Structure 1
């Protein structure tokens, strides 16, 4: 294949794109659409767009969104937007809008990771529009759920709960895994508003749905046992059970894919903060030590903030040798832009 065809999506995505099935068969048609030549789209282009989005999502899981989001944005602008304007049979057109919806959702998700809240809201809004136009209930409720996660992170519990409830309502025919995915977020948001009964009811629904879940998890709108354990931990913490939260978060990390570095840094950091909250300094330092081991592998605004929080929490304990040693390790690794 002519290396000049890297211009279709940009050099940074080229290596990722080579892993997409049938890439060599699709790239010429991509270039024809980009150049404005007459081209009628088919399902191979849709499949390619889905596969590319999944690959970028995998990169985000492993290494964080700081590098992956610009690649996703370039793919959206240079390839997917021209696809949306190209001639296509109606089923293909709707399938491409659905694929574009998930891509916009992913861009918004990664923007949250970087602290770009305005960009995240705009991306999520576009994802909702595309999902609605495609008639894709799954993409629509997945995006609403993502907006709920963003609201929880920003401390806006009532809004998070409204969005989580709307997401659950938007997909009445969802399968067990999707129901668990939505109910887990409902439980998290309800706990953050202090609604104990609702939180416990929703986490119970998530547990019951996971027992019936199909064996294969999808990239988006998916849920797994580590995620369920994480939500159990968040519900327990939101309802004041710190020790129960610690137990659930420890279980979540044991089950989590070790290559999902960004999630592990964030959630291990939460675990350490809660261990310290109940006075277990040695356990917190041990957990934070794992964070420091993983942290150099990721490029993530949320992970940067987790490390900054760790250093702030350790500062009152610097007379303790284990805390001092950990603090110095973190100081050497952290970017200069982080608070000292």
Structure 2
């Protein structure tokens, strides 16, 4: 627990963020297996005057859900320090408070989910070493609480981080570990894991495996959707995103564009941060196949929403946009986009 508190305190301190962010993603990171983390953090100091119950657990769960909504709408630049402060000032005290065994395990599970989300926000800012530290703490807390599903979701998140950085073999190992660790996963989580396995397999050049995992993801999401509207972050839009990534990794840029457009149509009204990032990626691919005006239209829609998003990855897409569009400013559409970017984006981004 002390390691988690210190990590959160450092993350809250602006003077330390450069140091924290300097830690790069490590493909050699040792990932504790489920038997290794099971019960590892049971030695929390208890016996304080404070005693907690399920209302405190529910509050942490609800707070994490609210932070997650804010991240998807606006990005993690401002919400991550808020999450770290909540972890240090509230959750840490709850973890050390007197409680029944059931409540203590439930609180550790809730803290695991918060640690995972905070790591996810660090990824969004490009602080990959910091993200890995949060992810490992999430694994340890999941093991302490016996929460297989959060352990699995965290491994999946680590695989997403790895594949986005181009570490295909590591991403595949992590995705496979997530699949092996989730015997009780419902169809929606199973679909997410299979989609992630497909992306990682494609990045390693395993075409057969990639399409096999995509078929598994499609079958699982069909089962999940047939059960009606449920709470879950993996939906047909996310599946189409994975289809797009697989096709792109395997050299089918046109097919990847079609799948990304379908994902955008399905998720048009929600998740502004993701929408800005992925429209930026879509435009890059449209330009790659020579569709300059279509790319400009897509980039314009992303740029219009960019001011409402505080996200390092969204910033990266805008910087790339400026670099790619600058050589095409003799075209009226490209020139209009370039001038809009110079007006909207800070000078450091163009």
Please indicate, yes or no, whether the TM-score normalized by the shorter chain is above 0.5.
Answer: yes
Instruction: Tell me the CA shift for residue 236 of structure 1.
Output: 0.9
**Higher relative contact order, structure no. (Cα contacts within 8 Å, ≥ 6 residues apart):** 2
TM-score, normalised on structure 1? 0.87
- Please give the per-residue CA displacement for 1:56-107, whole angstroms capped at 9, x wherever unaligned: 0000000000011111111111111110000111111111110000100000
Report runs of 4+ in structure 1 exceeding 2 Å deviation. 214-219, 335-338
Q: In the alignment, which of 311, 318, 328 is matched to residue 317 of structure 1?
A: 328
Q: 1:78 to 1:185 in 2, by over 3 A?
A: same
Residues 1:173 and 2:184 aligned together? yes
CA contact (8 A) 2:48 2:98 kept: no
Residues 1:47 and 2:58 aligned together? yes
CA contact (8 A) 1:250 1:271 kept: yes
Secondary structure at the residue paired with 2:273?
helix
Instruction: Tell me the CA shift for residue 218 of structure 1.
Output: 3.2
Stretch deviating more after TM superposition (299-308 or 324-333): 324-333
CA contact (8 A) 1:167 1:182 kept: yes
Give the Cα–Cα distance (whole angstroms) in 2 for the partners of residues 274 and 188 of structure 1.
Answer: 17
Instruction: Tell me the CA shift for residue 37 of structure 1.
Output: 6.4
CA contact (8 A) 2:48 2:96 kept: no
Residues 1:117 and 2:121 aligned together? no
Residues 1:189 and 2:200 aligned together? yes
- Please give the per-residue CA displacement for 1:27-48, whole angstroms capped at 9, x wherever unaligned: xxxxxxxxx9612211111111
Give the Cα–Cα distance (whole angstroms) in 1 for the partners of residues 48 and 198 of structure 2.
Answer: 50
CA contact (8 A) 1:304 1:334 kept: no
- Aligned match of 1:218: 231
Give the Cα–Cα distance (whole angstroms) in 2 for the partners of residues 52 and 215 of structure 1.
Answer: 26
Residues 1:59 and 2:70 aligned together? yes
Secondary structure at the residue paired with 1:65?
coil
Secondary structure at the residue paired with 1:249?
helix
CA contact (8 A) 1:180 1:207 kept: yes
Question: Structure 1: where are the runs of 5+ without partners?
Answer: 1-35
CA contact (8 A) 1:261 1:298 kept: yes
CA contact (8 A) 2:277 2:314 kept: yes
Give the Cα–Cα distance (whole angstroms) in 1 for the partners of residues 229 and 182 of structure 2.
Answer: 19
Give the Cα–Cα distance (whole angstroms) in 2 for the partners of residues 64 and 47 of structure 1.
Answer: 24
- Aligned match of 2:220: 209
TM-score, normalised on structure 2? 0.84
- Please give the per-residue CA displacement for 1:294-318, whole angstroms capped at 9, x wherever unaligned: 1111011000000000011101111
| Count of aligned residue pairs for this structure pair | 302
Matches within 5 A, 1:1-340: 38-213=49-224, 214-218=227-231, 222-338=233-349, 340=350
CA contact (8 A) 1:217 1:223 kept: no
Instruction: Tell me the CA shift for residue 257 of structure 1.
Output: 4.8
